[in-house]
Amino acid sequence: MRHLHRPSAVHVGVRPRLQEAEEEEEEVPGLSDSGDEVAWEDEEEEEEAEPPRDKQQTPCLFCDRLFTSAEDTFSHCKSEHQFDIDNMVHKHGLEFYGYIKLINFIRLKNPTSEYLNSLCNPVPWEKEEYLKPVLEDDLLLQFDVEDLYEPVTVPFSYPNGLSDNTSVLERLKHMEARAQSAEAALARAREDLQRMKQFAQDFVMNADVRTNSSSTTTIADLNEDEDGVYFSSYGHYGIHEEMLKDKVRTESYRDFIYQNPHIFKDKVVLDVGCGTGILSMFAAKAGAKQVIGVDQSEIIYQAMDIIRLNKLEGIITLVKGRIEEVDLPVEKVDVIISEWMGYFLLFESMLDSVIYAKDKYLAKGGSVYPDICSISLLAVGDPNKHADRIAFWDDVYGFNMSCMKKAVIPEAIVEVLDPKTIISEPCGIKRIDCHAACVRDLEFSSDFTLKITKLSMCTAIAGYFDIFFEKNCHKKVLFSTGPHTTQTHWKQTIFLLEKPFSVKAGEALKGKITIQKNRKDPRSLIVTLKLNNLTQTYSLQ
């Protein structure tokens, strides 16, 4: 539950009436018997003699027009920009500080009125940083938003046949909507509390249950607000810097788009999970008629600035929210692009969102890119790395911590493999055609055979993926995240074996892999390997 701290008035550009009264009281000179009345008269004369000041002006929220009152500003915004502050306040249930944040958010981020009118809760101006005034002495921050909630007196008659109850009915609808929103929030809070109680109970009851046999390891599922954590992580610039600096990733998308402009020329393009907007800008430069970028994380506000800096706001429209929840300004798109891939390809489950967008928005004959993806496995022989991660726990500064092995082994590792430790040829376990895929295809089992290339101890199985841009392409583009290619930020995913075993060149190492979503955290994966008569389960989270 969020507890709002009402900051001092200096942070929001207005002062509570009580504070003003107290300050005025402090400024009153003390009375004495020695001519204080004369002093009072002198002060009054000085105040009367003070020349009149120019009327204070404040700019419109969406253009450069200046106004001398908040009422005139809002009237202009409503008639010229189709932005009705009354509707906005009631739609989102904004009280004093919510209204202040809204005004400062608009001043700072310069969103369009169309974008603001399309928003649903949660709103993007909830952060405390929007309490700080963007403009000094902003008349809009001195407007009493509570006036919008006062009973409205209506004229005797209205044109166009409207009854004198119209305004009251509208307000009743807003009040009902706010009540329903509050009830929904309370229900979510109760549900969260119940989940926390259940998690605590499960943790206590199952703390000692780590394995069900010497050959099978079970995974403890964590229950958390995975979407909140997920989107929050993508709100920080660091992760986007890492992705943009991944030349294999970014240049592959660039080359595909720029070398196949016929795919984008005069087309409507949807960028799912647009981040900083780099793919949207590539598409716009390739000749797209309209590009719509959708992202739930806070980085989209930086993307808005980036789009404006590059003078592409006439082509690119950004929408904040989950693709499953937002309303796009178009019914259908011709092309969907997305950089949705996670570790081991399917970690993060963002392909689910791309599939949703494809099913709902892609026009007949349209295309999704990348269009083909594949996952492959390799055998790894690296006894030193295995000992460093597993045998290490046998003697930690003279203490036996070997019980930690049961917790360490089930955690998949994401790191760059030394190509010298690869002891098999690759084996593909999954091919995904993004035009035909459905969500249920993303959980699967596959038998595999690894042809061993050298005598070694098999200490791990590693996975990686390859990406293809092929459909209708004059110039096909592909890239790999395998250990024999240029390193990417995806690296490789490594599943350490609890009990390594020896293999020899020419041997066919047979196994089975099963990939499932964690039911309590659908963005993470549960991977089960059956190999050499052992079954081991891993968590990728």
pLDDT of res. 373: 97
Determine contact, residues 275/303, Cβ cutoff 8 Å: yes
> At 160, phi and psi to the nearest 5?
60, 20
Band the pLDDT of 151: cuts 50, 70, 90. Answer: very low
- State pLDDT tens for residues 71-114: 999 999 999 999 999 888 888 888 888 888 899 999 998 899 88
Average pLDDT over residues 159-169: 48
pLDDT of res. 152: 40
Residue 47 has pLDDT above 60, yes or no: no
Average pLDDT over residues 422-428: 97
Residue 326: C-alpha distances to residues 188, 319, 361, 407, 537 (Å)? 20, 8, 12, 40, 37
Query: Is the C-alpha dihedral spanning 342, 344, 349, 353 positive or negative?
Result: positive
- Residue 346 is given by DSSP the state T
71 catalytic residue (yes or no): no
pLDDT of res. 529: 96
DSSP track, 401-430: -GGGHHHHTTB-EEEPPPGGGB-B--EEEE
Residue 497 has pLDDT above 50, yes or no: yes
Tokens 């990406």 locate to: 467
Residue 337 has pLDDT above 70, yes or no: yes
Catalytic residue among 47, 150, 339, 415: 339
- Residue 442 is given by DSSP the state G
Residue 42 has pLDDT above 80, yes or no: no
- State pLDDT tens for residues 340-397: 999 999 987 799 999 999 999 999 999 999 999 999 999 999 999 999 999 899 999 9
24 catalytic residue (yes or no): no
Determine contact, residues 154/168, Cβ cutoff 8 Å: yes
Residue 146 has pLDDT above 90, yes or no: no
CA distance 222 to 320: 28
Determine contact, residues 286/261, Cβ cutoff 8 Å: yes
* More confidently predicted of 122 and 536: 536
In this structure, the strands spanning 492-503 and 456-469 are: antiparallel
Determine contact, residues 320/124, Cβ cutoff 8 Å: yes
DSSP track, 217-245: B--PPP-S-HHHHHHHHTTSHHHHHHHHH
Residue 58 has pLDDT above 80, yes or no: yes
pLDDT of res. 155: 40
Catalytic residue among 348, 411, 415, 470: 348
pLDDT of res. 5: 35
- State pLDDT tens for residues 187-230: 656 665 665 655 555 544 444 433 333 333 333 333 344 444 44
* More confidently predicted of 287 and 156: 287
CB burial of residue 344 (10 Å; 0-12, 13-18, 19+): buried
Give the architecture-level CATH label for domain 226-540: Distorted Sandwich (2.70)
Average pLDDT over residues 115-134: 85
Residue 289 has pLDDT above 80, yes or no: yes
* More confidently predicted of 151 and 453: 453
pTM over 0.85: no
> At 430, phi and psi to the nearest 5?
-160, 135
Q: What is the Cα 186 distance to its own chain's centre? A: 24
Beta bridge mates, 369 = 337
